[in-house]
Amino acid sequence: MVLTMQKQKLFINGERLKNTLEEFADFGRTENNGVTRLALSEEDRKARDYFRSCCEELGMSVKVDDMGNMYATLEGVENDKPPVVIGSHLDSVKKGGRFDGVLGVLTGLEVVRTLVENNIKPQIPVVVANITNEEGARFEPSMMASGVLSGKFDKTTMMRKTDTQGITFEEALDSIGYAGEIKNRLKEAKAFLELHIEQGPILEKESLKIGVVECVVGMACYEIEVTGESDHAGTTPMPMRKDALFAANDLITEVRGKLSKLDSNLVYTIGRMDVSPNVHTVIPNKVVFSIEARHQDTEVIRQVEEIIQGLAQSPVQERCEVEAKKLWGRDTVWFDKEVVDSIEQSVKSLEYPYKKMVSGAGHDAQFIATYIPAGMIFVPSINGKSHAEDELTTWEDCEKGVNVMLETVLSMVTK
Ligand SMILES: [Zn+2]
């Protein structure tokens, strides 16, 4: 029989993690214990400055690139090798929560603190990254800086984006002192790892502690335009009407019925509707509404699109014209299999209940995954809440998530 020596497991300091999360929640804390920390605001600057000082205290060197992304590097034995990067975002939406984004950045900080206090010098460098403007709440679009890093968005166009006050992204970046150099951009890495709150109810509902994220699901977004005719609501007999809203109502019932039969994992939303002229005495002559659907399988999305496009020929049109226009779509982004496996191994070794799952929401890691092997770890969101002041993940669950990150990083940076 061969006996293997069991390596002593390393754990992070949950109390320290909690305290640091509380400290960062002060940067933009709202009345109801939420956070408003819009990208490149004064609150964002304070959080960035404090993040920098925490990193420097650990002997890390901090660099900033031309999009304001911050990279704090803990040196390794072989510094010419590509690093392992742990990253997320410090910005929030208006009246957002204390966990979305910031938890992923502070996960990196806590992992490095644990390495340093245990005198573990990693074989390759470990970088903790704060990616600028993930939320897109002040400057659209969301995931702006990771989009530029991955070549998805054009930098010049992004620099000119304005907030509601007319301030450009470029001006805001300058004004908080975080316009860095293009040469500092994240170019290559062994892995990009992002820990994030789930932002959905699944983990909590299934009493699981960790989600090993396999992909960010693809989606298709359409706009349906129904054109009828406006007439007097009191004088026009029912059979002679071209009521665009009744038509839209029937179309929605039809599309819902068909989509509900496709796949139980499919999610679909009609989130926006404009009715014209929107006057109670006038028969509506135009209704425009959106339909978006998300699923990981390309084939399911293809069927969804077929159903939506078929609405134009639907018999339930109340004598109206129906047009289905595709606004945009995105393919499912699958995370790197080796990275996903190594996260799963880490969870198993810690014996936390987990499942492999998909992300229905977008994250920086999905853009970065197009050029760096990437993976994500989810921790439970109480009641599935996020982008809200009552967003909550228990301290114990945060701690478990960061332990998974530590274990994953150790598997990549130690021999
Ligand atoms: Zn986020």
DSSP string, 282-346: B---EEEEEEEEEES-HHHHHHHHHHHHHGGG-S--TT-EEEEEEEEEE--EEPPHHHHHHHHHH
The pLDDT, as a whole number, for residue 318 is 82
Could you tell me the distance, in angstroms and rounded to a whole number, from the CA of residue 239 to the centre of ligand 1?
51
Cis peptide before 277 (omega within 30 of 0): yes
pTM of the model: 0.92
| Single-letter residue type at 216 | V
Could you tell me the distance, in angstroms and rounded to a whole number, from the CA of residue 360 to the centre of ligand 1?
12
Could you tell me the distance, in angstroms and rounded to a whole number, from the CA of residue 89 to the centre of ligand 1?
7
Which sign does the torsion angle of CA 175, 178, 181, 185 carry? negative
Could you tell me the distance, in angstroms and rounded to a whole number, from the CA of residue 213 to the centre of ligand 1?
14
**Mean pLDDT of all residues in 357-367:** 96
DSSP 168: B
Could you tell me the distance, in angstroms and rounded to a whole number, from the CA of residue 187 to the centre of ligand 1?
22
User: Does pLDDT of 1 surpass 60?
Assistant: no
Nearest CA to 84 among 347, 391, 389, 336? 336
Other CB atoms within a 10 A radius of the CB of residue 314 amount to 14
Could you tell me the distance, in angstroms and rounded to a whole number, from the CA of residue 179 to the centre of ligand 1?
22
Could you tell me the distance, in angstroms and rounded to a whole number, from the CA of residue 388 to the centre of ligand 1?
12
H-run or E-run covering 357? strand 354-359
Residues 216, 336: Cα–Cα separation, whole Å:
12
The pLDDT, as a whole number, for residue 314 is 85
The pLDDT, as a whole number, for residue 270 is 97
What is the tens place of the pLDDT at every residue in 146-205? Answer: 999 999 999 999 999 999 999 999 999 999 999 999 999 999 999 999 999 999 999 999
User: Does pLDDT of 333 surpass 60?
Assistant: yes
User: Does pLDDT of 2 surpass 80?
Assistant: no
Could you tell me the distance, in angstroms and rounded to a whole number, from the CA of residue 398 to the centre of ligand 1?
15
Residues 253, 202: Cα–Cα separation, whole Å:
27
The pLDDT, as a whole number, for residue 88 is 98
Residues 285, 236: Cα–Cα separation, whole Å:
13
- Paired tokens of 260: 């509900």
SS3 of 239, please?
helix
Q: How many Cα neighbours within 13 Å face the side chain of 2?
A: 1
Could you tell me the distance, in angstroms and rounded to a whole number, from the CA of residue 277 to the centre of ligand 1?
38
Residues 180, 22: Cα–Cα separation, whole Å:
28
Could you tell me the distance, in angstroms and rounded to a whole number, from the CA of residue 199 to the centre of ligand 1?
9
Could you tell me the distance, in angstroms and rounded to a whole number, from the CA of residue 134 to the centre of ligand 1?
7
Could you tell me the distance, in angstroms and rounded to a whole number, from the CA of residue 168 to the centre of ligand 1?
22
What is the tens place of the pLDDT at every residue in 220-236? Answer: 999 999 999 999 999 99
